[in-house]
Amino acid sequence: MNETGTDNSGLYAQGRISIAADRLRDLGLDEATVELLSRQGLPRLAEAHGLLGLAFDEPFLLRLGDQGTAVAIARETWAPDLYVAISPRSGHVVAVSGKPGGETTFINSSAGQFLAFLSHALEFFSRASKDADSPTTMTLAQARERLVALRRGDIRPKAATVSFDRQKEAARLRQVFKETDPAALVSETWWDRVLEQIDDGQI
């Protein structure tokens, strides 16, 4: 369980990136973030199976011109120079452009909340993909044999299972997010856009 009471074990199923506390302090992060990330590390997500296009890496200092600095912890793989970073001053997690004068978009109020949100999103996408229709491929001869076996009663049709109600689960996900970190769902934040894409079936 993390600081939000969320089980993040699924998020770390592919491994973790360990980070020394001294390294995090040298980057200027607050003590709560240092304690969390040195204990828990960052999830090692395979790029081919990335969650929301994220790839975590060793934290490094990102200079943002007049906006100061941020500590990058992940990159958004769908576009160059886009990072997820932690603001040393506030501890907020933001999406930033590595280019000077680039846009900054609020994600979460803390690193712990960001990882909790990702865990919930991973669970949502995992359940949705398991429920997705996956047609069985078989030859004409196999199909005939199966039909004959069904007619003889050798194969009994499986009882209907309760399917994944995407709309209902998306609403539940939004409610969990709202209860965990309301600031993350303000209009035009990173998660607000993600939830819009989920609602529209784009992701």
- Cα–Cα distance for residue pair 27/36, rounded to 1 Å: 15
* Tally of domains within the chain: 2
- Closest residue by Cα to residue 184 from 109, 82, 131: 109
Cβ atoms < 10 Å from Cβ of 75 = 20
3-state secondary structure of 138: coil
Quick: pLDDT tens for 104-120. 999 999 999 999 999 99
Chain centre distance of CA 162? 25
Helix (H) or strand (E) holding 45: none
Confidence at residue 194, expressed as pLDDT on a 0 to 100 scale: 95
DSSP state of 112: H
- Partners of residue 63 on adjacent β-strands: 69
Are residues 107 and 146 located together in one domain of the fold? no
Range of 109's domain? 9-114
- Partners of residue 96 on adjacent β-strands: 83, 104
24: in domain: yes
Are residues 105 and 189 located together in one domain of the fold? no
Q: What is the dihedral of CA 53, 54, 60, 63, to 10 degrees?
A: 40
Quick: pLDDT tens for 57-66. 999 999 887 7
Are residues 156 and 91 located together in one domain of the fold? no
Are residues 187 and 102 located together in one domain of the fold? no
Q: Which pTM does this prediction carry? A: 0.81
Which of 54, 82, 114 finishes a domain?
114
